[in-house]
Amino acid sequence: MDGKLFTTHLLDWYRVNGRDLPWRRDPSPYAIWISEIMAQQTQMDRVVSYFTRWMDRFPDLITLARAKEEDVLKSWEGLGYYSRARNIQRSAAILVREHGGVFPSDPAVIRALPGVGPYTAGAVASIAFGLPEPAVDANVLRVFARLLDLDSPVSEAPVRRTVEQAVRSLIPAGNPGDFNQALMELGALVCSRRPGCTQCPVASHCLARAAGVAESRPVIRPRRDVLRIEMASGVLLHQGRVLIQKRRPDDVWPGLWEFPGGCVEQGETPRQALVREFREEVELAVEPLEKLTVITYAYTRYRVTMHCYLCRYVGPREPQPVFNEAVAGGFVSPERLHDYAFPAGHRRLIEFLEQDSRLIKPFSADSLS
DNA sequence: GACACGTGGTA
DNA sequence: TTACCAAGTGT
């Protein structure tokens, strides 16, 4: 491949077609770092609104390091992979404590931050500091799987090394950041799952196109099967307030809040599961009343059907939950639910509740019991 | 290397 | 409706 010509074609295309993303206007190391962490395993279009709100709320490392975890998670709510938010805050604390609040330019130091792997380290080093480091993401893997007509699954380590080498050999000394972003932008806008070879600025360099196999690149290894599970969640209302709990840091949805509930076991009805889960998780006896709604959602390899019930407390005294499966919890006013970060499925349950007049106006104490 | 970790858009 | 999958990292 003629590297000089390839790079010229690619950068010329990028100057015309590159998107006007907010962090491209002021590519500070902090902004680039945040945008790259947010963009992991999602699409840039989805990141923009989160990024704008984040920079408004946490404009610099000091502010972020001092922020409450609760506020950080609330700002991350809906983006998924919530350990990223925790790692960002851990990193901010490290950078303030050990680097005087100045973002480091050394790729090895960037790479050592929690949540920063080879891709993000290369992206920040090249985009924010102009260093000639490769930033190989799924876009770049796909682009080079076609350019070089690679017939091995792109998830294999040797393919990644091949692509990193190829990027290193092509990366221009003048603007490595634009080069890396141009490769990713090409993958996102032109060389996507359905390759748009007719609009591609580097089609003349592409071996897969020459061989007529661009559509069958990259080679993808088959995924693991999806698991379907049934769950039950309970909205326990007591004197106009609702019970929620905060999930453990080592579990799925670390630090997020939820309505108590759990998996429906074999031979169990959702109602029975709910009674059992409330007993196990919060040591409360409850009675599921009406079924509110059924919510289906997916996370990682699970496809969940969540049966949602309105519940009431059945007991002699005031309910005193014991949080066996959570790090915190309590009864909160429905109006305050939006202060807490919830997983997507529970957020949809809250949306449903907000359309229920009984919850929008706080209950009178005796309307259910 | 395999697996866990979330979510919403797209075909 | 189902399946795929996206600016990946940690264990």
A323-361 confidence digits (pLDDT tens): 999 999 999 999 999 999 999 999 999 999 998 866 655
Supply the Cα-derived Rg of chain A in whole angstroms: 25
What was the pLDDT predicted at A224? Answer: 87
| A77 in active site | no
Distance between CA A295 and CA A305 in Å, rounded? 6
- Per residue in A3-26, is it b (16+ CB within 10 Å) or e — as a string? eeebbebbbebbeeebeebebbee
What was the pLDDT predicted at A364? Answer: 37
What was the pLDDT predicted at A359? Answer: 65
Per-residue pLDDT tens digits for A271-281: 999 999 999 99
Separation in Å: C4 C1' and A322 CA: 42
Separation in Å: B1 C1' and A361 CA: 54
Nearest nt to A18, CA vs C1'? C7
Separation in Å: B11 C1' and A102 CA: 45
Domain boundaries along the sequence of chain A = 3-216, 227-360
Helix, strand, coil proportions of chain A in percent (round to 5)?
50, 15, 35
Residue range A3-216 in CATH 3.40.50.150: no
Do A3-216 and A227-360 agree at the fold level?
Answer: no
HSE-CB of A216 using CA atoms within 13 angstroms: 6
Nearest to A55 by CA among A33, A40, A79: A33
Distance between CA A329 and CA A257 in Å, rounded? 8
- The interaxial angle of helices A3-17 and A157-170, nearest 10 deg, is 90
Separation in Å: B4 C1' and A262 CA: 19
Measured from the CB, is A321 under 7 Å from any atom of strand C?
Answer: no
- Cα distances from A166 to residues A135, A141, A170, A184, A297, in angstroms, run 11, 11, 6, 14, 40
What was the pLDDT predicted at A367? Answer: 37
- CATH number of this structure's domain A227-360, picked from the four choices 3.40.50.300, 1.25.40.10, 3.30.499.10, 3.90.79.10: 3.90.79.10
Per-residue pLDDT tens digits for A210-226: 999 999 999 999 888 99
Residue showing tokens 């019970």:
A243
Nearest nt to A35, CA vs C1'? C7
Query: Tokens representing A14?
Result: 């990028």
Query: Which amino acid is located at A57 in the chain?
Result: R
A277 touches A260 (CB < 8 A):
yes
Measured from the CB, is A81 under 7 Å from any atom of strand C?
Answer: yes
What was the pLDDT predicted at A365? Answer: 39
- What is the percent of chain A where pLDDT is above 70? 96
Distance between CA A246 and CA A256 in Å, rounded? 6
A302-313/A227-238 β-pairing: parallel
What was the pLDDT predicted at A363? Answer: 41
Which are the contacts of A254, defined by CB distance < 8 A and separation ≥ 6? A82, A83, A86, A247, A248
Query: Tokens representing A201?
Result: 């600025």
SS3 of A61, please?
Answer: helix
A44 touches A31 (CB < 8 A):
no
Per-residue pLDDT tens digits for A55-87: 999 999 999 999 999 999 999 999 999 999 999
A190 touches A141 (CB < 8 A):
no
Give every residue of chain A whose pLDDT is below 50, as ranges.
362-369
**Which of the 174-193 residues on chain A come under 7 Å of nucleic strand C at their beta carbon?**
181, 184-185, 187-188, 193
Helix intervals (H) in A26-155: 29-39, 44-57, 61-66, 69-76, 83-98, 107-111, 118-129, 138-147
